[in-house]
Structures are given as C-alpha cells and as structure tokens.
Amino acid sequence: MIRLFVALPVPLSVRQELVGLQNGLPGARWTDPENFHLTLRFVGEVDFGLAEDLAHTLSRIIAPGFDVTLDGLGWFGNKRRPAAIYAQARKDDALMHLQRKVESAAVRCGLQPESRKFHPHVTLARLKTTSIDAAERFVAERRLSRKLTFEADRFVLYSSFLAHTGSIYTEEAEYYLDYPVYAAAE
C-alpha cells in the first residue's frame, strides 16, 4: 500500500515568504516549508496497481499552465476546535479546471468521488490544542505582506509517509502543464 495525493508544488520564493508567518501561535505544529503544496486531490492509501493506474491516467491530462495567487489566511476546524492554519489560494478558472481534471482522473481509476468541496490552500500549521480565539486572533493579526503569485507549470503525484517527526513527501511523478500561447508563437 502507498499513501498518495496530487498537488501543485510551491516554489522556494513563496515558501520563504510563508515561513515568515510561522510563529506566535500556541499549540501550532508548523508545516516544514519543504512540504508546502496546494492539494488538488487527496487519494489516501491505495495498492500499488491502482497507484500505477492513477499515475498513467494523470499523464493524459492536458491543461494550460496558469498563475496561482495566495491572497489571505484562514483556519479549518469545527465549532469546538481549529485544526489547521492556511494561506488561501484564489479560485480562478484555470486552477478549478485542473482540479476537475485531476478529480475526473481519480474517479476513472476507481476512486470514490471527493465528497468535500475543493478549497485551494497551502497548510501552514496543524493545530491540536489551539483555541478558536487564538486561531482567529492569529489570522486577524497576520496578513500576507502582499498577494503571493507563482506560476503553476506542473503538478505532482506525491507519496506520503507518516513518520513520528511528521509527514515525509516524495515526488512519485510530475506532469507538465501546456502553454499553448507560446507554442503558437513558434
């Protein structure tokens, strides 16, 4: 069995900017900047045959490259306790188009459709003992110094190994996005 997810990697320049936000919140387990990503589809544990099928099906996705903009902070959780702090990504048409194609590929391989609504984000911290008040105060007091934009020119099939020190992510396959405007100019 292998634990998988499909995501957009976050470039170093954006990771460096996000690291500056990772402080001052009691109970936060900060995400290692090397693990910053924008999940398009969480797959979970699957057998190696299904993993291979998914890798192949993802390779047939044709979609244009696009810019991703991180434009705010927020938190996930329930009415009793927050679970994560994140940098929110703008839901533009190109991002949503790619996410739908990835979801469709996963379903064609036999995975159940994702039941949760897609909320594009980069997780900055996992929270265990943080209060709602502290999470809300953190989000209100911290702001991105500017809108962070990066070029999404590829997406990645990652494996995830849960170690006692945190998750270890490995790129299993990468898939490049097309730039038809550039191709037409040649």
Residue written as token pair 């954006």: 14
Whole-number Å distance between alpha carbons of 150 and 134:
30
164 catalytic? Reply is no
Q: What are the backbone dihedrals phi and psi of residue 40, each rounded to the nearest 5 degrees, phi first?
A: -95, -35
Which among 150, 152, 151, 154 has a CA at the least distance from the CA of 176? 154
Three-class SS state of 150: strand
37 catalytic? Reply is yes
Three-class SS state of 81: coil
Whole-number Å distance between alpha carbons of 7 and 35:
11
164 class by beta-carbon count within 10 Å (0-12 exposed, 13-18 middle, 19+ buried): exposed
Which residue among 56, 119, 121, 164 is the active-site one? Answer: 121
Whole-number Å distance between alpha carbons of 69 and 147:
7
Q: What positions carry a catalytic annotation? A: 37, 121
